[in-house]
Amino acid sequence: MHGARGDGRGTRKQVNGLMPLIVQKYGGTSVGSIERIEDVARKVIKTKEAGNNVVVVVSAMSGETNRLTELAKQMNPNPPARELDMMLSTGEQVTIALLAMAIEKQGHAARCYTGAQVRILTDSVHSKARIQEIDAKVVTEDLKEGRIVVVAGFQGMDSSGAITTLGRGGSDTTAVALAAALGADECEIYTDVDGVYTTDPRVASKARRLDRITFEEMLEMASLGSKILQIRAVEFAGKYHVPLRVRSTFDDGPGTLITYEDENMEEPLISGIAFNRDEAKLTVLGVPDQPGIAGRILGPVSEANIEVDMIVQNISQSGLTDFTFTVHRNDYEKTLKILQGINDELGAREVYGDTKIVKLSLVGVGMRSHAGVASTMFEALAKEGINIQMISTSEIKISVVIDEKYLELGVRALHTAFELDDEDAQVSIEGKSSD
């Protein structure tokens, strides 16, 4: 990516003398009204007056993207993707203009830009475009002049000049990509929670805010169900070593720093517990246990663009085996039909599924150097009478599939077993925005 620096462990580029550069991102809830936009302007100015250059990335006002989508569908139930992106991009244009006006009103110079004006160049996959290059010369020039720069998140432009959008949560990706291109000292993601927690406080009331977490752990947490940050944004930050900080728009506080692993830092055994309610399980019973059977089962599923998650194949008995895997719950019916359609061809006895399951995961880089995590996890769940249906492991995570009705009990049991509880925790959280 043009302008990006991949050596985030060293000294970052200074745009204006010795002033550090901070990129801040505010989601739809944070800019949901004129009053909140004015509050954001005060936060931005406070950061500027503390001796920093500031670039601000904002989403559309809360609910605006959904409103525009519904408006488009009233005109055409299947709106052309190119034109829909053109329409959706206007939501952020309103926000950037209002925020720049608010900053000017409060006595500081500001300039706002769309993604296209900043030359955030993407591929041409409308509604889920990927950033290919950023030429942020205009931003650099404004920063040198002492201005606060406000940029529309969620959007870019392809090589033909067509407006593109980056998909849900795309403003996070815009902020991280700009931070990488500009060599920012830190990228702050402001939202309606005050950091990354050991698990969702709405499920475990004793969840504890983490002071810091590694890119690797955060990526696992995001992929396993945590909704705090968009996965692509974390991947981008890790690739270009952009320190990320999750902070609350509504409360002052240090938030959580997401950074690279520090050899001098004593890593906790477990950093967090993630869960995903959107799982479904399918089992093909009694298929011949022979080479290539897994490919014959999963090939048609893959060809239908259905992503498979966990896979378990049982030990062969009398030359037959059972093959089980999980998919996103939205893909369950489609996958079941595919398997039923090839059942006779496979020589299987039966195909059945279950949508009332969840995936529960432990995440922590400390697992690399500590034994006994799995046994502690299994004992804690067994103590509560929770049966484990499937198990998957990697270097820094252990995931299990359990019955959906035991989700909250399982999370709390593991949270206590791994000593993650904060006895003084009193967390108040609004509905999380994913803009």
For residue range 125-145, list pLDDT tens digits in order.
999 899 999 988 999 999 999
Domains of the chain, earliest start first = 21-192 (3.40.1160.10), 273-417 (3.30.2130.10)
User: Residue 322 carries which side chain, given as an amino acid letter?
Assistant: D
Instruction: Give the annotated binding-site residues for ATP.
Output: 25-28, 191-192, 197, 202
Range from 134-143, 245-254, 422-431 carrying the lowest mean pLDDT: 422-431
Is the pLDDT confidence value at 298 over 60?
A: yes
Instruction: Give the annotated binding-site residues.
Output: 25-28, 65, 92, 191-192, 197, 202
Q: Of all helices (H) and strands (E), which one includes residue 189? A: strand 186-191
CA–CA distance from 96 to each of 7, 20, 119, 142 (Å)?
A: 30, 23, 16, 15
Mean pLDDT of all residues belonging to the chain: 88
Instruction: Give the annotated binding-site residues for substrate.
Output: 65, 92
Query: CA-to-CA distance for 16 and 81, rounded, in angstroms?
Result: 40
Q: Quick check: helix, strand or coil at residue 66?
A: helix
Query: CA-to-CA distance for 400 and 376, rounded, in angstroms?
Result: 13
Strand runs labelled E in 289-389:
308-313, 320-328, 350-363
- Predicted confidence at residue 15, as pLDDT, reads 56
End-to-end CA distance of the chain: 24
- Predicted confidence at residue 168, as pLDDT, reads 80
The pTM score is 0.79
- Predicted confidence at residue 427, as pLDDT, reads 45
Q: Quick check: helix, strand or coil at residue 137?
A: helix
What is the mean pLDDT of the segment spanning 206-233? 84
Is the pLDDT confidence value at 1 over 70?
A: no
Q: Do 130 and 170 form a contact (C-beta atoms < 8 A)?
A: no
- Sheet with 120-122: list strands edge to edge: 131-134, 120-122, 155-157, 163-165
- Predicted confidence at residue 221, as pLDDT, reads 86
Q: Do 33 and 64 form a contact (C-beta atoms < 8 A)?
A: no
Query: CA-to-CA distance for 112 and 101, rounded, in angstroms?
Result: 9
- Predicted confidence at residue 6, as pLDDT, reads 38
Is the pLDDT confidence value at 355 over 90?
A: yes
Is the pLDDT confidence value at 262 over 80?
A: no
For the chain, percent of residues with pLDDT exceeding 90:
65
What is the mean pLDDT of the segment spanning 344-349? 88
HSE-CB at 209 with a 13 A cutoff on CA atoms is 19
Is the pLDDT confidence value at 431 over 80?
A: no
- Predicted confidence at residue 2, as pLDDT, reads 47
- Predicted confidence at residue 17, as pLDDT, reads 55
What is the mean pLDDT of the segment spanning 310-336? 91
